[in-house]
Structure 1
Amino acid sequence: MGVLMMDTSCDRVGEFRGVAGPYWSLRPIGGGTEWQAEPEQVRPVDPIERLHAETARANARSRGEWL
């Protein structure tokens, strides 16, 4: 799993995927379409957010939703 980040502008946790111009690309934990976030709106997840994200990923995987 890559570095998990919290996009505070939309209250979403995503995996950091890289830089796209002035934005950072984040990917949903369970898979899906990447979104762009302004770097100043992104911070590392705290331990509780990490646990929640990892649990959501495991649940999506068990349901066959994660590739």
Structure 2
Amino acid sequence: MASKQGRGEQLVVGTLVADSGTGRVGVLMGRVGPRMQLRPPHGGLEWEAEPDNVEPATTLDELRVKVTEINLRRVRG
């Protein structure tokens, strides 16, 4: 019998991903048991996500991250 894998099961650590459970974008940091550990792209606290809710980030998600980075640089100087 074939095993059923969630969408996030094939992702590699370091991949930019979208968590549909929270609506957030993060970097896959690893796995703890059945859950995935994600961190905001610009640092911060990790959160856990269900593998079925995690998929590679879309081009739009990637653009949002880049705009946030530009805005942070502007604010920080």
Q: CA separation in 2, counterparts of 1:19 and 1:9?
A: 16
Contact (CA 8 Å) 1:29, 1:56: kept in 2 or not? no
For the aligned residue pairs, the C-alpha RMSD in angstroms reads 1.3
SS at match of 1:9: coil
Matched, 1:39 2:51: yes
SS at match of 1:36: strand
Q: Which residue of 2 aligns with 1:55?
A: 67
Runs of at least 4 residues of structure 1 off by over 4 A? Answer: none
More helix by share: 2
More strand by share: 1
5+ residue gaps, structure 2, are 1-13
Q: Give the percent of matched residue pairs that are identical in Structure 1 and Structure 2.
A: 37
SS at match of 2:43: coil
TM-score, structure 1 as length reference: 0.81
5+ residue gaps, structure 1, are none
Q: Which protein has the larger Cα radius of gyration, Structure 1 or Structure 2? A: 2
TM-score, structure 2 as length reference: 0.71
